[in-house]
Amino acid sequence: MSTTAATGLPTPRAHRRRTTGGGVNTLPLVAPSVGLLLVFSLVPLAATLYFSVLRYNLLNPAVGGFAGWNNYKYLFRDPALFYSLFVSVALVVEVLIITVGLGMILASLFETNFPGRSIARILIVSPFFVMPTVSALIWKNLLMHPVNGFIAWVTRGLGLGVIDFFTDWPLSSVVIIVAWQWLPFAFLILLTALQSLDEETREAANIDGAGPIKVFFFIELPHMGRAASVVVLIETIFLLGIFAEIYVTTSGGPGIATTNLTFLIYERALLAFNVGGASAAGVIAIILANILATFLVRAIGKRLDT
Within residues 82-121, the interface with another protein by CB under 8 A covers 106, 108-121
Q: Does the footprint of another protein cover residue 265 (CB under 8 A)?
A: yes
Q: 79-110 vs 275-296: helix axis angle to the nearest 10?
A: 40
Assign 202 to helix, strand or coil: helix
Rounded distance between C-alpha atoms, residue 120 and residue 139, angstroms: 22
Q: Does the footprint of another protein cover residue 171 (CB under 8 A)?
A: no
Rounded distance between C-alpha atoms, residue 228 and residue 103, angstroms: 9
Pattern of binders to another protein over 66-85, x per CB under 8 A?
Answer: ----x---x--xxx------
Query: Which residues in 241-260 contact another protein (CB under 8 A)?
Result: 241, 243-244, 249-257, 259
CB 146 within 8 A of CB 154: no
List 66, 129, 208, 213, residue binding another protein (CB under 8 A): 129
Amino acid at 305: D
- Name which of 53 and 265 has its Cβ closer to another protein: 265
Q: Does the footprint of another protein cover residue 141 (CB under 8 A)?
A: yes
Residue 272's H or E segment, with its range, is none
Assign 253 to helix, strand or coil: coil
Q: Does the footprint of another protein cover residue 275 (CB under 8 A)?
A: yes
Q: Count residues contacting another protein (CB under 8 A)? A: 162
Query: Which residues in 202-231 contact another protein (CB under 8 A)?
Result: 202, 212, 226-227, 229-230
- Name which of 210 and 296 has its Cβ closer to another protein: 296
Query: Which residues in 279-298 contact another protein (CB under 8 A)?
Result: 279, 281-282, 285-286, 288-290, 292-293, 296-297
- Name which of 210 and 286 has its Cβ closer to another protein: 286
Burial of 251-260, coded b for 16+ CB within 10 Å and e otherwise, reads ebeeebbbbb
Question: How many CA atoms lie within 13 Å of 140's alpha carbon, on the beta-carbon side?
Answer: 19
